[in-house]
Amino acid sequence: MGLSLDQIRAFLKASEEVDFQGRNREEVYQWVSETLRLQGNRRLGRTARGLVRRYVEKMTGLSRAQIARRITQYVQSGAVKARSYRRRRFPTVYTPRDIEVLACLDEAHETLSGPATQKILQREY
């Protein structure tokens, strides 16, 4: 089993001046998940949960808000895992062929301004 609440309290008091940081995100999240599991975070009282939260914050170097999100993730799913990065992408309007035709048109008319090119395309349409 992990540390008792008294041991965590003593550790936090003794290590006020010391800061810790994990090596990488996966390792930190695995440690947080394991610590919350060992401490039985779901059945702890309010004071004990705050103590565990400060302990996890101290040991990982994560901010209070980051720890709150990790604990919420643990409570909801039973584990703390890194989420994959999801980049927002604009919908594709023009096909590669459309771009090629536009480049050829622009080259044929010796690189006119945008509005002039637009007017040519409107007339062609």
| 77 vs 82: CA distance, rounded Å | 12
What are the residue ranges spanned by the domains of the chain? 5-77, 92-125
> What's the pLDDT score for residue 3?
77
Strands (DSSP E) found in 7-116:
none
Pair 12, 3: CB distance under 8 Å: no
> What's the pLDDT score for residue 97?
93
Q: What is the mean pLDDT of each run of 10 residues along the chain (125 residues)?
A: 78 77 83 86 81 88 90 88 84 90 88 87 85
Pair 95, 101: CB distance under 8 Å: no
Pair 49, 9: CB distance under 8 Å: no
| 107 vs 125: CA distance, rounded Å | 19
> What's the pLDDT score for residue 1?
54
pTM above 0.85, yes or no: no
> What's the pLDDT score for residue 65?
94
> What's the pLDDT score for residue 100?
92
Sign of the CA dihedral running 66, 70, 72, 73:
positive
Q: What would you report as the CA-atom Rg of the chain, rounded to the nearest whole angstrom?
A: 28
